[in-house]
Each structure stands twice: as structure tokens, then as C-alpha cells.
Amino acid sequence: MTHAVVDPTTTSAWRALEVDAERIRATSLAEMFADDPGRAASLTYEVAGITVDLSKNLVDGQVMTHLIELARATGVAERRSAMFSGEPINTSEDRKVLHVALRVPPGEKLVVDGHDVAADVAEVLGAMGQFTDAVRSGAWIGATGERLTTIVNIGIGGSYLGPMMAAQALRRDTMTGLEARFIANVDGAEAAIALAGLDPARTLVVVSSKTFTTLETMTNARLVRRWITDALGEEAVARHMVAVSTNAEAVVAFGIDPKSMFGFWDFVGGRYSMDSAIGLSTMLLIGRESFAQMLAGFHEIDRHFATASLEVNLPILLGLLRVWYSGFLGAQSLGVMPYSSDLGRLPAYLQQLEMESNGKGVTRDGRVVSTDTGPIVWGEPGTDGQHSFYQLLHQGTRLVPVDLIGVLKPMSEHRSSHDLLTANLIAQAEALAFGRSAEEVAASGVPAHQVPFRTFPGNRPSTLILLDELTPFSLGALVALYEHEVFTQGAVWGIDSFDQWGVELGKALATTVAEELVGEGAVDHDSSTAAAIARYRAARARWA
């Protein structure tokens, strides 16, 4: 069943929100908090051990009501049901979108077109688990009889960012004596550094690529394959290289035994795949039980997203807030600041999830969108960012909503450091929201000529996301929360959040340019591109 695309800007909810925006511009967070002592309580939600305080966002009750009406008018709930029931909601690629099937609890079914997709998922998970157990126990050894102690994950985009982010987030859950390195970029320097000091005899290479055609991954995979065979011989590949892909033919053509391939399906988008076989390196690091916990965390949020009414549905509320900021208050970006070193790569992960999903300019039925779509997502861990770009957040001229993410349980024995980290997180949200008026600054004894510079306008929105603790479970829940708020935004805007045609042109042009850089003939480009090619050719001749 296809769902008609509703232009959100034509709905009465949109018009009501335009009026709301005028009212919100004329008030402030300070006033809204003063008027309603119950504001924090009424705008705080808790799901799966994650507490989300929305109260420091530039909204009031009417805005929330109208945003929910907008979700209703644009069919968010219908689209959500369509996803869960396996309709091909990725219409531009005619694909189902079933990453939620990856975390169906053991023993449960998910039947789509008469086929139990959950059983397929369980089979692959079982194979991953067996392999993981064998590597971790030392039953799977290298070609020379050595235990495997380093995993080299080769992959890029969705075949890298999730496993890399999780390896850092779950480093405390990682088995002692096992280390992961990642090679993503086609820059040979990255491979060189990743392999430096490694013993091929003790290295397991996981080539992760949904398509098994990606330029970067295949280049690196060939390079690392040579590194293995030069040291250990061709036969060693079977003990030292495994593949994760949907493309069995290409895996075999590359020279990896299909028995050493872990599959997934085209209904799992790359950026939604860290809980599929793409998570093999994660499972190797943390073990199958902890991986199962991570899936349980994902599922807990899936269940909430699928069943909670719109008014209290956290991913839907988060998604609607993004729509509010970009559609009505002119925000261009979203900052994500994890106050946790372990979550340090979460912003990079979310950049792909959000921007590859919702950086779209046409609707599902091919019309140009009538409002701004996905925000530019960026961020760095707090407190590092405070000493870098928070100046702009506090006193700059742009509206930048931020997600401030903290973890209540300390991740080290340095408890007082954790107290300070958390103090900074909470204080930043307060400072952004309430600022410091010129009167307050003057009253604190600041010389008059400095008052304008030391005044903080405040009224800058943030969402406070607190994890009880950082575990495989809570990481899964956190990621699922973002996956579904991304879904919600896309559903409101009527775009296809699951294709990524926008990455193709650059890739195609690079193929041509790659040939030209190493050739000598005339090139047919604009003068700037032609000059860059000429410059590189000349440099290449010098370095040859």
C-alpha cells in the first residue's frame, strides 16, 4: 500500500505552529519556567533507563499539541506501522525498511509476506555467536597456530561508524587481550597506521561492506589481503579474513570463503546496520551475551516507538522538535554533545544517521520539498567543546539546538572527575537557557564598558539526555531513539529517509578523475577542475 505524501506546510497544524512561533519568539525560557513550576516534570520522559528532559526547548503546551497534530496530519503513525509490517517504504529503491527485525527478541517471529524474517536474523546471529565464541576462546586460531588478538575492521560509512562508535562506547565491556582497529578512508596512510606494529599471524580481518563494491573498502581489503598473504601465504586467508555483506557473489570473487561470510539483507540500510552482522567486530569485542543485551536495548525503544501514543512517544517528540526548529525557528543545525569520552564518536555516527537519512530536497513523490529538511548535525564531547565552540552557542547570533548527553554512573574510579563532568553538563544547559542579563552582570561588579561582552542572552535550547549507565543495553536504546526520531522527521517532511542517491554523483566523477590523474591525455572539465588535475599530475611526476 502506498501512502500519499502530505505537504506538511499545507496542514492546519502547520499554520497553527506559525502562529505559535510568533508567540514563542516573544517569550523566553526564563518566562516559561517562571510561569510554570511543573514545566520540567511535565516535559521529562523516561524510557529504557534513559531520561530525556525536553523542558529547556523553545516550546510550550500549545506547540507540543500542534506538533502532535502535525504528526497526525502527515501520517507519521501510519508510516511507522508500514515500516514495522514490512511495506516497501523506501520507495525510491523499492525496499522494505526492517532494521527493527534485527532486534526482535529470541523466539519471537516477524512474518513479512509469509516469511519469518526474525528466523533469518536469528540464524545469522547464531553463526556470528559461534564464530565469536571460537575466536574469544582461542578455538579459532590463525594459520600458524597463534591466537587472534587484533581485529581489523575494514569498512566505511554505515559499515564503519557504528562498530567504531560502539568499540569506543563499550571499551570497558571489551575482552582483555582483544583489540580492534578500523580502516575506513581510502587514504593509504590510514591503512598504514592501522597495520603498524600488527602481526598478521595474530590478526583477524573483518571486511564489512553491504555491497562489497565500495571503492574505499575494496581498495583497503585488497591491500590488507596482500599484507596477510605476503606474510602467511594464500592459504592463510581462510583463517584470517571474514566478510560481512549482502553480496555473496562478490565476497567469493574477492577470495573469501562463503563459509566465512556473515550475511544481512537489503532491507537493512547501511546507517541502520550496526546491530546486523555489520556488528560482528562489536560482538567479537564484547561477546555474544553483551551483543544480545545491546539488541535488547534497541528493541525496548522499538517497542516504545511502536506502541506509545504520540503524545508520550519519545522518539516522535524528539523528531517533532527537530521539525519545529528547522521549520519555524530557522535553526540550521543540531549540536550533539556527549559528556562522556566513551560516547566521543557518537556525533560522527549520528551525522551519517541524520544527514544521509534526511538531507533530502524532494519528497517521496518526487516534488521539491516546501520546507527545510534535515539539520546539519555536528558535535564533540563535552567538556572539550566548551573550550572550543561553546562561545558561539552562548553568545553567537545563530540558533543552535543541542542535545546534551550524560551518563549518571561514572565510567572510572575517578568519582570526583565524574562529579565535575556532570556539573558541567548540567550547568551548560542552565547557562544556555537562562544566560545572564546585563543587570546581573553589572551588579556582580563588572566594569560598565565590559558589561555588553559579558552578558549572556540565554534562551538557547537544549535537550538533556541522561543514561543511567553506559552499557550495551543503554547504547542500543540510545541509538534506537535517534533512529526513530530521524524516521519521524522524514515522515513529517514526506521524504524517503532510507535512500542516499546524493552520494552517487561524487563517486561517479571520482572514477573518471582517478583515471585522468594517472593518465596524460586531455581532460574535459571546467577550468578549476582541469587545473587541479594538472597540478596533481605534475606533483605525481615529481614523487614517482
HEC string of 297-357 equals HHHHHHHHHHHCCHHHCHHHHHHHHHHHHHHHCCCCEEEEEEECHHHCCHHHHHHHHHHHH
Cα 454 from Cα 188, distance rounded (Å):
47
In terms of CB distance, is 209 or 455 closer to ligand F6P? 209
Show which residues are catalytic.
Answer: 356, 387, 507
Distance in angstroms (rounded) separating the CA atoms of residues 255 and 225: 9
**Between 300 and 356, whose beta carbon lies closer to ligand F6P?**
356
* Residue 383 preceded by cis peptide, ω within 30: yes
Question: If you search the block for the grid coordinates 577470495, which residue do you land on?
Answer: 255
Minimum distance between the CB of residue 352 and ligand F6P, rounded to whole angstroms?
7
What nine digits make up the cell of 377?
Answer: 548535525
The distance of closest approach from Cβ of residue 96 to ligand F6P in the complex, given in angstroms and rounded to an integer, is: 17
CA distance linking residue 242 with residue 203, whole number of Å: 11
As a whole number of angstroms, the distance between CA 221 and CA 243 comes to 10
CB of 184 to ligand F6P, least distance (A): 9
Place of cell 543495553: 473
Q: How far is the CB of 220 from ligand F6P (least distance, A)?
A: 11
In terms of CB distance, is 217 or 351 closer to ligand F6P? 217
Q: Contact residues for ligand F6P (CB under 6 A)? A: 156-159, 209-211, 214, 217, 270-271, 356, 500, 503
Q: Measured from the CB of residue 161, what is the shortest distance to ligand F6P in angstroms?
A: 8
CB of 256 to ligand F6P, least distance (A): 14
Distance CA 216, CA 226 (A): 16
Distance, in Å, from the CA atom of 134 to the CA atom of 157, rounded to the nearest integer, reads 28
Looking at the Cβ atoms of 211 and 383, the one nearer to ligand F6P is 211
Are 362 and 496 in contact, with CB atoms under 8 Å apart? Answer: no
Residue closer to ligand F6P by CB (options 274, 400) is 274
User: What is the radius of gyration, based on Cα positions, of the chain?
Assistant: 25
**CA 252 – CA 131 distance, rounded (Å):** 19
| 160 vs 305, beta carbon nearer ligand F6P | 160
